[in-house]
Structure 1
Amino acid sequence: MPLLTPDLLLRAYANGVFPMAESAESEELMWFDPPHRGVLPLDRFHVPRRLRKTLRHFPFDVRVDSDFHQTMERCAAATPNRPSTWINSEIVEAYCQLYELGFAHSVECWTGQGADSTMVGGLYGVSLGGAFFGESMFSTITDASKVALVHLVARLMRNGFTLLDTQFITTHLAQFGAMEIPRHRYRAQLAKAIALEPDFQGGEEDERALVTAFLQSLTQIS
């Protein structure tokens, strides 16, 4: 019987804890509650100028939750630049169960049409109350994962989410304004966020309109 169940995962996230495997081949899971947590403040999200230009040309067909399992598998796959990942088969199975229950979501970038369409980038994470816990992302084409992230943030902002947890900070995330905060501040933000009841899927489903409005709001703020 799998030890990683949807109920256990949700209770862990609600308490600021998340699992990772040592490698995709490992059968053992480790639980993390780091003293400093990576977060991406939604009200200070920064879109680099070059990426804004890319977004305005809509280079990808961006979809939400159209193929969650493939998104996870692509995030788990080894690449020349990332020879090993922390996503093992038990994590894939457990998060796919969370997806079926409505607590996990993917944002995907596709190219091509119909049966010839190919997923070229994306991300997935867990939604609990007004918190979204970003888990992993991948990209096989320049900017695909970045475009997916902007679409995610636009959706979170529109629907009333208050916390985007990135777990750790990377150079990739730092350019968007990601920062580390101490555990006590993170837990205070988490407690407020999970008490909310926003709908991840709510509102306008036209991804182009969603991101266009989001970019315009950023221009007005700046």
Structure 2
Amino acid sequence: MTIYLPELDAHDVSFPELHHALTEPDGLLAMGGDLSTARLISAYSNGIFPWFSEGDPMLWWSPSVRAVFPPDTLTLNRTLRKQIRRYKLHFSVNTAFAEVTRHCAAPRARQPGTWILPQMQQAYLQLHHLGFAHSIEVWQHNKLVGGLYGVMIGQLFCGESMFNFLPDAAKIALVVLQQHLKAVAEGWIDCQLPNPFLQQMGVQSIPREEYISLLKQLKDKTVVKSHWQAGTIAQDIADA
């Protein structure tokens, strides 16, 4: 089957209207363009994200269903608290962003390739340097054992990827993220697409239209920059 995709202009960071997104494959909206900071911010501000593999053109998506964690839906249950104590874990924000993205990019079991290509890592590192992209890190002593990264659009955290080298470290990072957000915002987290891992954590699937409405409510609300200053996260936040 032949499909038509708009090709983005190198000098225009705008995107087609979301109703032009394909139903098969679901949410595919456009191709081409670049991974400049301006284009990425434009994409996330309009409910769009890049996702493509090595050898593919740059592809931009806005799926018909989005996976989100509403405020106060992520908590440390008994098992996760035991894991924190057992492994003597501690947490930080924005102290190892590049390392987190490299670990997220590493091929997973039964997944030989990665979509977090070197140019993608570099693009998000630039967003990080400009204060738009952030990471949560999970440490065992001085070893990074889990974490996640994503883009903050107003008061909505758009999660990109996570990893763990210890059981449940990614789950714990996700909970710590929402606890950290709650200090300055409601705590909404966008996880793009539902999957079994997120569903196990209680993610909610909402229609694109509802997601865009939420995005419009949150994207112009600000968060003080000091909240994302690199440093440790107090243990009482993680234990909340």
TM-score band w.r.t. shorter chain: 0.7 to 0.9
Aligned equivalent of 2:95, options 49, 66, 73? 66
> Retained in 2: the 8 A contact 1:62–1:110?
yes
Give 1:51 deviation, angstroms: 1.5
Relative distance call for 1:88 and 1:102 in structure 2 (3 A) is same
Distance between the aligned counterparts of 2:236 and 2:77, measured in 1?
20
Percent identity over the alignment?
35
Distance between the aligned counterparts of 2:111 and 2:175, measured in 1?
23
> Retained in 2: the 8 A contact 1:47–1:176?
no
Aligned equivalent of 1:20, options 39, 47, 51? 51
Q: How does 1:178-217 map to 2 (within 5 A)?
A: 178-199=203-224, 201-202=226-227, 206-212=233-239, 214=240
The residue aligned with 1:7 is 38
Give 1:160 deviation, angstroms: 1.0
Aligned equivalent of 1:90, options 98, 119, 131? 119
Relative distance call for 1:55 and 1:49 in structure 2 (3 A) is same
Distance between the aligned counterparts of 2:226 and 2:114, measured in 1?
29
The residue aligned with 1:30 is 59
Q: Cα deviations across residues 145-170 of structure 1 (Å, max 9, x unaligned)?
A: 11111110101112114421000112
Which residue type is aligned with residue 3 of structure 1?
D
The structure with more helix, counted as a fraction of residues: 1
Q: Secondary structure at the match of 1:43?
A: coil
TM-score by length of 2: 0.79
> Retained in 2: the 8 A contact 1:72–1:124?
yes
Give 1:175 deviation, angstroms: 2.3
List alignment gaps of at least 5 residues for structure 2. 1-9, 11-32
| Number of residue pairs aligned between Structure 1 and Structure 2 | 207
Distance between the aligned counterparts of 1:172 and 1:201, measured in 2?
31
> Retained in 2: the 8 A contact 1:156–1:200?
no
Q: Secondary structure at the match of 1:125?
A: strand
Instruction: State whether structure 2 residue 71 is matched by structure 1 residue 42.
Output: yes
Taking only aligned residues, the RMSD between alpha carbons, in angstroms, comes to: 2.2
Task: Return 199-208 or 41-50, whichever deviates more.
Answer: 199-208
> Retained in 2: the 8 A contact 1:161–1:198?
no
> Retained in 1: the 8 A contact 2:34–2:58?
no
The residue aligned with 2:19 is none
Instruction: State whether structure 2 residue 133 is matched by structure 1 residue 108.
Output: no
Aligned equivalent of 1:142, options 142, 150, 167? 167
Task: Return 1-10 or 190-199, whichever deviates more.
Answer: 1-10
Task: Return 155-164 or 90-99, whichever deviates more.
Answer: 155-164
Distance between the aligned counterparts of 1:188 and 1:122, measured in 2?
29
> Retained in 2: the 8 A contact 1:121–1:144?
yes
Which residue type is aligned with residue 188 of structure 2?
L
Relative distance call for 1:8 and 1:168 in structure 2 (3 A) is same
Distance between the aligned counterparts of 1:191 and 1:12, measured in 2?
13
> Retained in 2: the 8 A contact 1:58–1:208?
no
Relative distance call for 1:161 and 1:101 in structure 2 (3 A) is farther
The residue aligned with 1:220 is none
Give 1:211 deviation, angstroms: 1.7
Q: Cα deviations across residues 33-85 of structure 1 (Å, max 9, x unaligned)?
A: 00111111123335443123334567323111111111101100113354222
Give 1:128 deviation, angstroms: 1.3
Distance between the aligned counterparts of 2:225 and 2:156, measured in 1?
10
